[in-house]
Amino acid sequence: MTPVQQLRQRLAEGRIVMAPGAPDALTARLVERAGFPAVYMTGFGATASRLGMPDIGLLSQTEMTTHARDMARATTLPIIADADTGYGGPSNIHRTVREYVQAGVVAIHLEDQVAPKRCGQMAGIRLMDMAESGLRLRCALEARGADDLLVIGRTDALPAQGVDEAVRRARHYQDCGVDLVFVDGIKKIAEIEAVARAVPGPKVVSIVDGNETTRLTSADLQQLGFSVVLYAVTTLFTAVHAVSQALADLHAHGTPGTSRVGQIDYAGFCAQVDLDFHKDLDDRYGT
């Protein structure tokens, strides 16, 4: 099956899709090796890995779709990608959808913030009019044409205006025809439960490390009625902590041999990036 067929089958079977976030192509490959059914191309992680800066709308459409294309080359997993606000007006949204389809992405989410957007966990979110956002989602649905791309309507209303407004918007986006809805900015278990009760149908939830929502397992979330769970920052936060600790130890002791952080060895790393495949090509076809 194609990646999008894999994702659609799992959704049809009612099995929750666990999609860890990957800030880069190498991490996407690690997500696949770990046995997950999908990977999430997080804008938060993409901005951090490409710019070393916060997720405040700094990456362009071209940078994001290039990032997606690189990730699609590195993994056979279905890629669920952050498409921010669509990067402009209706023509920009149309181009965004076409670029993501050509990049090999199987699902995108579009959010209802005004530009410049920011991470859904941050303060200071400004929302666009709900009706306007619904029209933009309809534009994205039209733009996909006959291509098998899932469109996710995301609302960031919860931190800005509360759960009732987030639910109202999510249900409106369902009426616009999106495949799934996504209430972002959730930080509490009570908020997850409120969304689960009030929003029927296929829906996405994001579990952010450091919030109390990490107490809920994927099985708990499936029982609550969620179809997809994104773990947007788990790999990124873990990597930053490990690298920072390793560098601190190297600086203090003058050698990596005293590091308190476990490491993969050289051979193990080469296996992760499929060096043997390329060596075989060189052996058979090189001069």
Residue numbers annotated as active site: 119
Please, which residues bridge with residue 274 across strands? none
Q: What does the alpha-carbon distance between residue 257 and residue 165 come to, in Å, rounded to a whole number? A: 54
Radius of gyration of the chain from its Cα atoms, rounded to whole angstroms? 20
CA-based torsion, 139, 142, 147, 153: positive or negative? positive
- Cis geometry, peptide bond prior to residue 159 (ω within 30 degrees of 0): no
DSSP letter string over 37-72?
Answer: S-EEE-HHHHHHHHHSS-SSS-S-HHHHHHHHHHHH
Q: ω before 116 within 30° of 0 (cis)?
A: yes
Cα–Cα distance measured from residue 154 to residue 136, given in angstroms and rounded to the nearest whole number: 12
Residue 139, classed as helix, strand or coil, is helix
Terminal Cα distance for the chain, rounded: 37
243 close to 219: Cβ distance less than 8 angstroms: no
Q: Would you tell me the crossing angle of helices 234-253 and 25-33 to the nearest 10 degrees?
A: 110
How far is 227 from 201, CA to CA, in rounded Å?
A: 9
- Residue 147 in tokens: 């291509």
| Distance separating alpha carbons of residues 155 and 186, to the nearest angstrom | 11
Number of residues written out for the chain: 287
